[in-house]
Structure 1
Amino acid sequence: MSILKFHCRLLRCVSRCFTATTISYPATKHAFTKLDKLKDPLTEYTNTKRTIILDLDETLVHSTTQLPGVKYDFMVMVKMEREIMPIFVVKRPGVTEFLERLGENYNVVVFTAGLEEYASQVLDKLDKSGVISQRLYRDSCTEVSGKYVKDLSLVVGKDLRSALIVDDNPSSYSLQPENGVPIKAFVDDLKDQELLNLVEFLESCYAYEDMRDAVKDLLAN
């Protein structure tokens, strides 16, 4: 049973019903030469640090209540109804470097549709260096047509030009689709390089007055 099914059984509801459309990010920074990164992350456009909001499940990690087909990185214990269930967690390749590099210039926030009891334990183990400055869980999501949607204004207020969200589920950022950076869902591909490829693009977004324009340029190519 995957962690998504675990959440659904616990709350007796469906949290993810969608077909994701993603793009593959180029494997080198040369694809982003037109996005020359500024030296100072506090640009002329803003006097505050910009924000990258990250999904958790299938973006940074994959979790399952059964032993996965690959070596898992750690385990957390979560109470489900009257049982204490082990949850096995596989980290997406490159996630540690990804977080560290983002943390050099950005406020890093995790916004997950997962339950706090589960997700907080995973983040404690995943973020040993304390890069993540804010965590939002399922209770912060807005339910729209039976789906959990993440309202980015809860994180950055009205300044949506200064934030992007990385999520494998496009419906999660349907309230602010221009701010969404799609990523392929991760399950158990230990050769996956999506995060390390994506970080090159995210580091380049500081060159834009409005980071949503960087996403437009990327998707247009």
Structure 2
Amino acid sequence: MKTTNKLPPRNTGTQLNYANQNLSIFQNQKPINLRRYTTGAEEMRRHQNSYGSQKRNESNEIQKQTKGKCQHNTADKQFTENGRQQHVSSLSDSQSQQPPLVMIKCQAKPQFENFKNHANAKNHNFITQQQRNEKPHSFKQIAQVNSKHLSNCNELIKFQVYYVGDLQNAILNQNAKNSEMFREHIVVSFTYIPLIQKSEIDIQQIEDKKLNIPLARNKKYNKTIIFDMDETLMHCNEDENDKCQFKIPIEFEDGERIVAGINIRNFAKEIIQKLSDVCEVMVFTASQDIYANQVINILDPHNNLGKRIFRDNCISLDDNHLIKHLGILNRDLRNVVIIDNSSCSFAHHLENGIPIISFYNDEKDNQLIKLYRYLCQYILPAEDVRPIILAHFKQDKLIQYETVEEAVKQLYF
């Protein structure tokens, strides 16, 4: 099957050197017989799950050498090594014989990791020689220090804020719900937001893609809430055998037909309806409209959304990467909020961006409920949303620190 530009290439992991550590960067490579149309976010998560066990084992080895307190566990080491070998073997087998995919992915999330000039990463001030012996994914130092002070009232107040409280809990308690996803989310944001911010934007692109959207009238609040779609409000299954709530047929211009499995995030329909009653709500997705419209019809059956914005209005970086630049809107940015599971998508508007962890198929997910309460309490009544967002999530300050563990410790504890 010949690859076309209507669907993204499938992603495969490539090891690059990151401050003398092996960091997996997902690079776009053209498939031979496969196409799909959600992003590589789930594939990235699966890789990090396997990669995380390796990182934890390496961290234990370093602690043993420096402190001499860790006892060598041959059985655990052998179990980890066997698991690693099985993972490498399975990757080799999958490369030689890929199973056929019926569910395809229409690039909902741009692959920010695939920058042509990776050498530029060495110039960022958050990559230093100090990272040689650090394992930022573990956050052990933070957990050991701060777990003794949870009775402090100021610390407890922080736990009440959306995202930040769950992130703190994820750092302090590795067994907490969604702990790994919150840890991975902050690591990805720390690593790639500076890369996006330092990438040049063609101003002419913004001018060419500007939208003339009439202002919503007769709303209680003059706010515009923008939702990303894939992995924020829903997830498109990669495998036809995966459990799904809905199946939608897609027929492309060349006559190709596929069936996509869709899982809707808990409270996704309700948050669109409830917010639409009091303010303007939009969906901004990097997916193509031929797929996204059918999904949005499920999310918004009563057509409450003020606007649906698709891939054609995303801004292209490096001719290959898409971001959601709020400059295409004819809106006062004091009243605009964008919610996306990839903070890189709004890296040029961190003062307007609210993070959320990715959704795949968690039937007990409650992030949108927490988000709705946060929006009602802090965002909708605000005269200017930007200082509030910066004060709560502090993503603009991540670049000031040399390591992700230092950033998390200083900003969120």
TM-score normalised by length of structure 2: 0.43
DSSP-derived class of the 1:130 partner: coil
Shift of 1:131: 1.8
Task: Report the counterpart of residue 313 of structure 2 in structure 1.
Answer: 140
Once the two structures are superposed, the pairs formed by residues 30-109 of structure 1 within 5 Å of their partners are 41-42=220-221, 49-67=222-240, 69-70=242-243, 72-80=244-252, 82-109=255-282
Once the two structures are superposed, the pairs formed by residues 99-138 of structure 1 within 5 Å of their partners are 99-138=272-311
Q: Does 1:24 align with 2:24?
A: no
Larger radius of gyration, structure 1 or 2?
Answer: 2
Task: Report the counterpart of residue 210 of structure 1 in structure 2.
Answer: 384
Shift of 1:123: 0.7
Question: C-alpha distance in 2, partners of 1:83/1:89?
Answer: 19
Alpha-carbon contact 2:245-2:263 (below 8 Å) kept: yes
**AA in 2 matched with 1:190:** E
Task: Report the counterpart of residue 151 of structure 1 in structure 2.
Answer: 325
Shift of 1:200: 0.7
DSSP-derived class of the 2:362 partner: coil
Task: Report the counterpart of residue 80 of structure 2 in structure 1.
Answer: none
Count of residues in Structure 1 that have an aligned counterpart in Structure 2: 193
Question: C-alpha distance in 2, partners of 1:165/1:58?
Answer: 14
Task: Report the counterpart of residue 4 of structure 1 in structure 2.
Answer: 39
DSSP-derived class of the 1:200 partner: helix
Alpha-carbon contact 1:24-1:183 (below 8 Å) kept: yes
Q: Deviations over 1:34-66 (max 9, x none)?
A: xxxxxx934xxxxxx210001000000000242
Question: C-alpha distance in 1, partners of 2:348/2:163?
Answer: 23
Question: C-alpha distance in 1, partners of 2:163/2:293?
Answer: 29
**AA in 2 matched with 1:195:** L
Alpha-carbon contact 1:41-1:206 (below 8 Å) kept: no
Question: C-alpha distance in 1, partners of 2:164/2:294?
Answer: 30
Alpha-carbon contact 1:50-1:162 (below 8 Å) kept: yes
**Larger proportion of strand:** 1
Shift of 1:216: 2.0
Shift of 1:95: 0.9
TM-score normalised by length of structure 1: 0.78
Identity across the alignment (%): 27
Shift of 1:107: 0.3
Question: C-alpha distance in 2, partners of 1:101/1:201?
Answer: 14
Shift of 1:139: 0.4
Runs of 4+ in structure 1 deviating by more than 4 angstroms, as ranges, are none
Alpha-carbon contact 2:350-2:390 (below 8 Å) kept: no
Greater RCO, CA 8 A, separation 6+ = 1
Q: Deviations over 1:87-125 (max 9, x none)?
A: 110000111221122112110000000011000111112
Question: C-alpha distance in 1, partners of 2:359/2:303?
Answer: 23
Alpha-carbon contact 1:3-1:63 (below 8 Å) kept: yes
Shift of 1:77: 1.5
Task: Give unpaired runs (5+ residues) of structure 1.
Answer: 9-13, 28-39, 43-48
**Larger proportion of helix:** 2
Task: Report the counterpart of residue 96 of structure 2 in structure 1.
Answer: none
